[in-house]
Structure 1
Amino acid sequence: MWRRDCKMANRIRNRDSGPGQLLLLLILLLTGAFDSDAAQPPAASQQYRNDLIRNARLDWGLNAPVADFAAQLHQESGWNPRAVSPVGAQGLAQFMPSTSEWISQLMPELQANQPFSPAWSIRALTKYNRWIWQRVNAADDCQRMAMTLSGYNGGLGWVQRDKKLAAQRGLDSQRWFGHVAAVNAGRSKANWRENRHYPQRILLELAPRYLTWGGRSCAEPA
């Protein structure tokens, strides 16, 4: 395992030796993201696997980051289609009622507005992620997906404000880890901490266990 980790470390280091990328490497190593013995997908997820792969590829193409989206659903609801959060988020993808209503109006194929329907939730998640992705720029797919997930969790407007503030402070607005993630454009401390934890847990802790479902945005072991 150590030899494989060193090889992966060299790949990341050669691509970019900046502080943000080195921080990403450290997180990957500490969370065991390169460990082939990482936990496997829970049994509850298996019934949704094919539907997620199909929908992800419809919106993102054959190389869709399916593992990222599976990890996101894992984080959101633990694969429970009847989940309701303390603040009222609903279903597999944990959309707030106002967000699911907005999405149902924005995207005609989702006009049914059924957050407790697994099929609707999965379709809405892949399409909404794509909608955010198309509105953020980043240095690479890993950084861009982190920004996309931050937008899913807290709103695209906050991502844009954080990117602007990062640039004003001399940080790289095209990089999430160690740069945009380090600033707060005005959120409460609790909301800011939750938002920063969200993409890190999904991309670096949970996505590796879903690699057999499809690719992921951040570095994979060779």
Structure 2
Amino acid sequence: MKKVLFGCSAPLVLLLVAVVAAFALMVTAGAATETGDALVGELPEAYRAWVLRSAGDCHDPALTPELLAAQLFEESGFRVDVRSPVGAEGPAQFMPGTWATWGRDDDHSGTASPFDIGDAVMAQGRLMCSLLGQTAVPGFADDPRRLALAGYNAGWAAVEASHGVPPYPETQRYVADIMGNLGRFQGNRLEITGYGVGPDAARRAATQLGVPYSYGGGSPAGPSRGHCDGDDGYRDGRCLADATVGWDCSALVQFAYWPARQLPRTAAEQYSATADRPVAQADLRTGDLLFWRHNGGGHVYHVALYVGDGLMISAPKTGDAVRQVPVADLPASDFAGATRP
């Protein structure tokens, strides 16, 4: 049986190479602009360090600072001394029984309190990290972030019973609101401007920032479980792809352009399908495709979408997630070229 090479499958060595001059471009028409620091938008300063620390303590790349920030916004609007009618307390709205399991004195005030910002945000991160770990169960074909949020709101037993986000109106609204507000708190947020197929594809790809990488995962319909094939989809000797709903690099690109441009599935096929429309590095625009192959030869192993200012949206490798990263994160010696679908 012929092995299908999806590309972006083997762990990518992220070399600290100098930024190639050709990618240190001024923003072209329809390109993106960077704004903000680690977190931007409506997150109060008192929460920033704790949100960053809480996300960083979790091994799961799906738990991003913006996800925690959007969840806090939904739970309490960042109010501290708040109690719900059912007894949930503090900015992360912990019930007393749940707090007893997850709450700690993280700010070293002498008391573990759901009303202390540090204690609350760190407990929120621990619980969300645990819930994300439980999403790696066969039969849950949904974004792990949505499932974890549903578990936080309705309890994991309700998620298991429904094999997904429970059909409770409150939980459905809760999940939709948080996912819809991620952009308010996106780190190094890209404001993708311009019109046309390329900028539209880049905007669609940007909606998937933070979704886990899954070798063989994803389609025009959205993220899906991947598979391990003997070589790819593993981390530390353990198959992650078949339990991870997410994207590999070429599926993300296919999704971003669908249906305006119905690109084939693999990185190599996408390169072949668009190679007759090459783009010089000095002429790159938002939505152009970037390709890499080992030492300039062999099969194409990675594809990403250019978004301006030397940045790209990329689904890099097993154990990582869809990210906005510099083009120079990948070896310049492997760059195979750019095309415009």
TM range (shorter): 0.5 to 0.7
Deviation at 1:212, TM superposition (A): 2.1
Cα pair 1:151 1:158 within 8 Å, conserved: yes
**Is 1:208 aligned to residue 183 of structure 2?**
yes
Q: Take 1:108 and 1:135, find their aligned partners in 2: how far apart are those partners?
A: 25
Deviation at 1:49, TM superposition (A): 1.0
**Is 1:134 aligned to residue 124 of structure 2?**
no
Q: CA 1:108–1:85 in structure 2 vs 1: closer, same or farther (change >3 Å)?
A: closer
Q: CA 1:118–1:160 in structure 2 vs 1: closer, same or farther (change >3 Å)?
A: same
Write the letter of the residue equivalent to 1:145.
R
Deviation at 1:137, TM superposition (A): 2.5
Q: CA 1:100–1:209 in structure 2 vs 1: closer, same or farther (change >3 Å)?
A: same
Q: Take 2:48 and 2:106, find their aligned partners in 1: how far apart are those partners?
A: 21
Cα pair 1:67 1:213 within 8 Å, conserved: no
Deviation at 1:216, TM superposition (A): 3.6
- How many residues are aligned here? 157
Q: CA 1:132–1:213 in structure 2 vs 1: closer, same or farther (change >3 Å)?
A: farther
TM-score (norm 2): 0.40
Q: Which residue of 2 aligns with 1:153?
A: 153
Identity of aligned residues (%): 23
- Select the structure of larger CA radius of gyration: 2
Deviation at 1:64, TM superposition (A): 4.4
What do the CA deviations read for 1:160-179 (whole angstroms, capped 9, x no partner)? 1111xxxxxxxxxxxxxxxx
Q: Which residue of 1 aligns with 2:143?
A: 143
What do the CA deviations read for 1:103-155 (whole angstroms, capped 9, x no partner)? 24xx7979954101110000000000011111122799971110000000010
Q: CA 1:121–1:58 in structure 2 vs 1: closer, same or farther (change >3 Å)?
A: same
Choose between structure 1 and 2: higher helix proportion: 1
Deviation at 1:95, TM superposition (A): 0.3
What do the CA deviations read for 1:72-119 (whole angstroms, capped 9, x no partner)? 000001011111112111111000112111324xx7979954101110
Cα pair 1:91 1:121 within 8 Å, conserved: yes
TM-score (norm 1): 0.60
**Is 1:65 aligned to residue 64 of structure 2?**
yes
Q: Take 2:60 and 2:156, find their aligned partners in 1: how far apart are those partners?
A: 23
Cα pair 2:102 2:126 within 8 Å, conserved: no
Secondary structure of the residue aligned to 2:82 is coil
Secondary structure of the residue aligned to 2:57 is helix
Q: Take 1:201 and 1:59, find their aligned partners in 2: how far apart are those partners?
A: 23
List aligned pairs for 1:101-180, cutoff 5 A.
Answer: 101-104=100-103, 112-137=111-136, 143-163=143-163, 180=164
Q: CA 1:95–1:140 in structure 2 vs 1: closer, same or farther (change >3 Å)?
A: same
What do you get for the CA RMSD once the two structures are aligned?
A: 3.5
Q: Which residue of 1 aligns with 2:54?
A: 55
Deviation at 1:41, TM superposition (A): 2.5
Deviation at 1:63, TM superposition (A): 7.4
Gaps of 5+ in 2: 1-33, 35-39, 190-208, 213-251, 257-306, 308-312, 314-341
Q: CA 1:108–1:45 in structure 2 vs 1: closer, same or farther (change >3 Å)?
A: closer
Per chain length, whose mean CA-contact separation is higher, i.e. which structure has more relative contact order (CA < 8 Å, sep 6+)?
Answer: 1
Q: Which residue of 2 aligns with 1:82?
A: 81
Cα pair 1:93 1:121 within 8 Å, conserved: yes
Secondary structure of the residue aligned to 2:91 is coil
Write the letter of the residue equivalent to 2:173.
H
Choose between structure 1 and 2: higher strand proportion: 2
